Amino acid sequence: MWPDLHYTTADSTLERAMSRLNHHLRDVPAQLSDLSETEWQQKLPRKWSKKELLGHLVDSALNNLKRFTEAQFGPEPYTFASYRQNELVTANAYQNLPINHLLTLWQSLNRQIMYVVAEMPEVTRRRKVMVKGSDGPPRSLSWLIEDYVGHMEHHLETLL
């Protein structure tokens, strides 16, 4: 359980993570533009299609935007629940949505994350966060943001 499964590398910094996120927001839509609808919708058993995977990244952005915002206030550590990834992909019916809508939504949510992080004071970035029920130590909000970008990059490898 968290923080054992994470995507933050030892040499990661928040500034590098935000730079990479900005790069992805600029370049990923163009890199995905040549995929056919068939390629977007193709599913393997017990795997998400590329549309559903992009939808999962939308869900991740939604959940993490809330975390990054709320973790700035209240008692420490800010404790948050994990979310039901598979159920959200199904409930949001990403497989049936237009790809332009999904890409725009993904970009918009991540731009908002970049705005929130840019306004966040250094002292706030050091605030402690943890997953509800985790037996691991609290981590910094900065670490959580870096891990979010690493998680996105993990899934972008499959999309691209």
148 located within any domain? yes
Query: What single-letter DSSP state applies at residue 95?
Result: G
Which residues have CB under 8 Å from 4's CB, separation 6+?
Answer: 136
| CATH of residue 144 | 1.20.120.450
141 located within any domain? yes
> Based on the structure, what is the number of domains in the chain?
1
149 located within any domain? yes
65 located within any domain? yes
Query: What single-letter DSSP state applies at residue 4?
Result: S
Predicted structure pTM score: 0.94
95 located within any domain? yes
Q: Which domain holds residue 149?
A: 48-159
| pLDDT tens digits for range 67-104 | 999 999 989 999 999 999 999 999 999 999 999 999 99
Report helix, strand or coil for 128.
strand
| pLDDT tens digits for range 17-36 | 999 999 999 999 999 999 99
Are β-strands 78-80 and 128-131 bridged in parallel, bridged antiparallel, or unpaired? parallel
